[in-house]
């Protein structure tokens, strides 16, 4: 940016601030947004934004996000802060809108999609479970990112635990329709894999009781747990391919690429989550928009939506292709 342009923009901003009503000016907080070091943001009384150095230790997760933190807030101000531009704004609203998306998809499915497909009572149950799990995952995430700024560390930790529990529920929501329709014609293996997945999810829930579960020492172990639960799906997927006669089977050629795409989206989301890229290479420049956790959030929504559409696709296939002795 040239010096003359920068001077003109700063002069215009200064003129704007001079003519701003004093009642509003008192509620103005200044943040660094991209190349602007003093960008005005209106915040409700009692709320302010902090730098990374100023926040409590339990909020220090990402040193490359240097500004825009909410902290030391009671519950009511935590709720009000969702309308304040902070480094959690995109995280909150991406999954709040994600919840709304899956809620509306549920209404549409129950009202039009499933009836037009001649769905059975089992289909309604499976879709209800899947979409309910996605909605729970979204709301748990919203809750944590909304209340992580609470003045009580204990409250923050409780919401963090709920966020992790929501991830497990979201994974369950992927497995239920996937396993049900993959082994639609083989009730034995369908029950085996559904019960196994449920046991894994319950094991993760049980691990959350451990007092060290939310500590930094268990960070890698937590990631390994979720990767193991999600990666377990490779086993029933390979078994399903074998039961259907290999990759040349029609249903495998139709369905297996969609499974791979789902795993690619999940892997991409996880890489953003653990690598802290791109803000690692642009510290302080992506505090409010473009951070890795925001990409993680949006990719999770995309993955859930993709899997929901895949479940509808495979349901229609199963209804149009009756089971045979050799089908899985």
197 CB neighbour count, 10 Å cutoff: 21
145 is in an annotated binding site: yes
C-alpha dist (Å) from residue 278 to 87, 182, 272, 294: 15, 37, 8, 11
Q: Would you state the structure tokens that stand for residue 71, as one six-digit string? A: 């902290």
CA 132/CA 149 separation, integer angstroms:
27
297 is in an annotated binding site: yes
| CA dihedral sign, ordered 83, 85, 89, 90 | positive
CA 187/CA 190 separation, integer angstroms:
5
308 is in an annotated binding site: no
176: nearest Cα among 160, 158, 190, 165? 190
CA 279/CA 273 separation, integer angstroms:
11
DSSP states of 235-275 as a string? Answer: HHHHHHHHHTTSTTSHHHHHHHHHHHHHHHHHHHHHHHHHH
- Binding residues, as ranges, are 145, 293, 297
Annotated binding residues for Zn(2+), as ranges?
Answer: 145, 293, 297
């Amino acid at each position: 940016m040239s010096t003359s342009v920068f001077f003109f923009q700063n002069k215009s901003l200064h003129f704007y601030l001079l003519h701003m009503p004093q009642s509003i000016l008192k509620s103005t907080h200044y943040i660094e947004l991209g190349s602007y070091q003093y960008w005005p943001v209106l915040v409700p009384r009692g709320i302010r934004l902090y730098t990374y150095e100023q926040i409590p230790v339990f909020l220090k997760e990402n040193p490359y996000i240097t500004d825009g933190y909410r902290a030391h807030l009671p519950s009511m101000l935590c709720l009000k802060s969702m309308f304040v531009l902070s480094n959690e704004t995109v995280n909150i609203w991406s999954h709040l809108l994600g919840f709304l998306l899956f809620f509306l998809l549920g209404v549409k499915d129950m009202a039009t999609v499933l009836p037009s497909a001649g769905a059975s009572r089992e289909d309604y149950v499976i879709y209800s479970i899947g979409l309910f799990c996605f909605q729970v995952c979204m709301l748990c995430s919203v809750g944590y990112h909304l209340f992580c700024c609470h003045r009580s560390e204990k409250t923050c930790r409780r919401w963090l635990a709920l966020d992790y529990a929501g991830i497990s529920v979201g994974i369950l929501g992927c497995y239920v329709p996937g396993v049900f329709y993959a082994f639609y014609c083989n009730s034995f293996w369908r029950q085996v894999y559904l019960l196994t997945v449920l046991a894994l999810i319950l094991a993760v829930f049980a691990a959350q009781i451990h007092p060290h579960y939310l500590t930094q020492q268990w960070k890698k172990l937590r990631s390994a747990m979720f990767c193991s639960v999600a990666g377990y799906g490779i086993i029933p997927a390979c078994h399903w391919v074998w039961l259907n006669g290999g990759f040349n089977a029609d249903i495998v050629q139709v369905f297996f690429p969609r499974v791979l795409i789902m795993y690619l989206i999940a892997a991409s989301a996880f890489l953003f989550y653990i690598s802290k890229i791109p803000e690692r290479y642009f510290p302080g420049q992506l505090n409010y928009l473009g951070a890795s956790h925001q990409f993680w959030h949006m990719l999770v929504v995309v993955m859930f939506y993709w899997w929901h559409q895949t479940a509808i696709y495979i349901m229609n296939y199963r209804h149009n292709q009756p089971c045979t002795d050799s089908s899985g």
